[in-house]
Structure 1
Amino acid sequence: MIRSRSRALVRRVGRLVVALIRRARRLHPLAAVALLSLTLLIAAGSAAWPTYVPLSGVVIPLLLGGLILGFRQLVVLTLLTMAIASFVLVSREVPTPTTGFALVLGAIGWIVIAGAKVRNQLGVPGTRGESMLMELRDTLTAQGELPPLPSGWRAEVAIRSAGRSKFSGDFVVSTERDNVLEVALVDVSGKGVDAGTRALLLSGAFGGLLGVVPVEDFLPAANRYLRRQNWEDDFATVVHVAVQLGTGAFCVRTAGHPPAIQFDAWSGRWGTRDADGPLLGLMEAPEFAPNHGVLKPGDALFLYSDGMVETPRRDIGRGTDRLAGHAERLVAQGFQGGAAELVAAAGGPGDDSAIVIIHRLEHS
């Protein structure tokens, strides 16, 4: 009980601090005056009670300034802080070494200013740049969430980035309209953070196309968009599926992506749904052949990235068989929670891994 109350108190304090920092970003002049006043207060306290108020406390306003102030205001605060601290040290009756303290304070100020200079070049003061990246990451995560499905259907998605970072070159966009579920799993060239910026850009564009253009036009439209970016030696692979939720009929198209895998509940067999298509972004007007099929009650369809099946020591064919072997163990539990289990069991540690499972339940 005490621990839960303590944690709740810590969370409330954390939310309060975040709210204050966000408000301070909007009022830079007022924040600068407040931090300078805090510096003067600490310096005065240190001059009056050096035993109880250490002068090193002036570092606190300086670090806070690095979070919420603009570049010029931070430079002014740093210079004034060094001047105030040096004055307090020199004015003390008991001789106090000033050189070492001034050097350490100057080094801290230089580090804070260097970070602020980079953010100033981006046009985002304080930690606003990091906040923007977090918001973009949350947007990417939200777009990867599958829409709610009618009774008799279940779908899951799991994505793991290389190096356990929060950004991944694999992403999922999906929509459901007119009782048709459309899902596209995209793998951008590169991995982890290196591919994260391109994935953020493409997720918004592909998410806007999905469900707006006809099913057969999605990959050609995505290819035209990618061609307009003029990225050098960069491309994307995609597997796109449209499922009629009323009948279970589906159509798979791929663009340089590993084939989808279908589980046939009646026979207990696993089969690939090959649909040849070139990589996105390399050709002007490619064609993407469809592969049609039907999901009967109990059947499941698996979309996955190459990080799930390909490694330097294993080709895609063997990796696909290995993935199907792992998925076979999930049949008894109806594939529930299977996406996360498969990413953990079959995903390569050095590459982004993603999988989508679309399961038509036996009993709706």
Structure 2
Amino acid sequence: MSAVFDHSEPGTASATVERLRLAWRRGRIGQFRTAALLCLLALALVVGVALVPEVFPITSLMVPLLLGSLVLNPRQLPWFVGWIVVMAAITLALQEERTGRLVAAGVIELLMAAIVLATAFRRGRLGVAGNTGESMFVDLRDRLLNQGGIPDLPAGWHVEAALHSASGTPFAGDFLVATILDDDTRLEVVVVDVSGKGDAAGTRALLLSGAFGGMLGALAPEDFLGAANDYLMRQGWDEGFATAVHLSLDLRSGAFQVRSAGHPPAVQRHAGSGRWAVLPSAGPVLGLLDRADFEVACGALDHGDAVLLYTDGMVERPRRDIEMGLDRMLGQAETLLHGSFVGSADRLVEALGSRDDDRAMVVVHRR
């Protein structure tokens, strides 16, 4: 049996390849057009400096130089910087009187060109223009934050999450991933603390959040931490370890399972007695041992009960034992969560923990 492909029809493999080729050519033409326009702008400024020096100072060449650093790709930028240097040299040569101020302006122009050129060589490792690279990084950041969003829950449940970075930016070594499975009847939440903090740990957190998000929705609760540990072991990072706490909650009955890997224990508040109980799950830090077992703590949330998942930044401070930090957190939680759980995660993160460490908090409440 044979198949005949009509290459003239849109949607065939040949047509798809042709569209990609045309798009690539249009992109290359667009990049060339941008570089040409910037070169013409620099040339026009040289003419302006030569003819009307009182209107166009020599430093006006910094405008196309900085524009080029933003929009040109790393392959074009070194040639464009060379063009700007040539234009600056021509401008100086055309001046009738070379004062010290004029020479200083030329030196500043050359210094700016050297800085832009050094930046171009650094960007060459990424292979995209400056604004494109920043857009890619922002997109990754937004994906990390979106994965940490809490999905819509059935009536009777309230879940909040808060994350504060030590560096004050959205990039942190702490992150969380959450999803609902089994026809909206099971909530899976994992809170992770990657080694390091702030921006330094942000790249590892970005990678792990994507991997953990895929595993969280594909594996049984008892298999998740083991798979996460195997994944980290395969990375071979020098600082390739992380702690995590994983909650699997049945939204119909309130039954839950908690497993942790070198992480501060989850805590449960019993609405009937008003007491807090530490959920004694345990396991080794992820990424240190080839094979690891993770103990499970089981329980159930009745109406009014709550579970807190958090990172060590909430309970650890220099020269203070973690047990003291846990006691302080539970005391503050009893006060801050009294009456209403709305905004509870943010209130707890603002009131507790070290400002020099990443802090994350998840509050799960059954109304």
Alpha-carbon shift at residue 346 of structure 1 (Å): 0.4
Match of 2:88 among 75, 85, 89: 85
Are the counterparts in 1 of residues 244 and 263 from structure 2 also a CA contact under 8 Å? yes
Q: Aligned partner of 2:65: which letter?
A: L
Partner SS, residue 248 of structure 2 = strand
Q: Which residue of 2 aligns with 1:47?
A: 50
Q: Which runs of 4+ in 1 moved over 6 A?
A: 23-26
TM superposition shift of 1:351: 0.9
Shift of 1:46: 2.5
Deviation at 1:233, TM superposition (A): 4.7
Partner Cα separation in structure 2 for residue 323 and residue 158 of structure 1: 15
Choose the corresponding residue for 1:200, options 202, 206, 221: 206
- Give the Å deviation of 1:212: 1.0
2:165 partner amino acid: S
Other-structure match for 2:250? 244
Distance 1:174 1:35, change over 3 A: same
1:184-233 Cα offsets, whole Å, 9 max, x none, are 00011111122111111111111000021111111111111111112235
Q: CA RMSD in A?
A: 1.8
3-state SS of the aligned residue for 2:76? Answer: helix
Give the CA deviation at 1:94.
4.7
Tell me the equivalent position of 1:106. 110
Q: Does 1:292 align with 2:295?
A: no
Please, which of 147, 151, 164 is the counterpart of residue 160 of structure 1? Answer: 164
The letter of the residue matching 1:120 is G
Give the whole-Å Cα distance in 1 for the aligned partners of 2:120 and 2:28: 13
**From 309, 324, 327, the counterpart of 2:330:** 324
CA positional deviation for 1:25 = 9.2
Residue 12 of structure 1 aligns with which residue? none
Query: 1:51 offset after TM fit, Å?
Result: 1.8
Q: TM-score w.r.t. structure 1 length?
A: 0.89
For residue 216 of structure 1, give the secondary structure of its aligned residue in structure 2.
helix
Query: How far apart are the structure 2 equivalents of 1:119 and 1:298?
Result: 53
CA contact (8 A) 2:164 2:358 kept: yes
Give runs of aligned pairs for residues 1-364 of structure 1, distance below 5 A.
Answer: 27-97=30-100, 98-178=102-182, 179-361=185-367
Counterpart Cα distance in 2 of 1:82 and 1:119: 20
Given that residues 58 and 105 in structure 2 are in contact (C-alpha distance below 8 angstroms), is that contact kept between their aligned partners in structure 1? no
The Cα of 1:95 is off from its aligned counterpart by: 4.7
1:101 to partner: Cα distance: 2.3
* Aligned residues between the structures: 339
Gaps of 5+ in 1: 1-22
Secondary structure of 1:121 counterpart: coil
Residue by residue over 1:109-128, the C-alpha shift from the partner in whole angstroms, topping out at 9 and shown as x without a partner, is: 00001011100122223333
Shift of residue 88, structure 1, vs aligned partner: 2.8
- TM-score, normalization by structure 2: 0.88
Identity, in percent, stands at 48
Local SS of the residue matching 1:293: strand
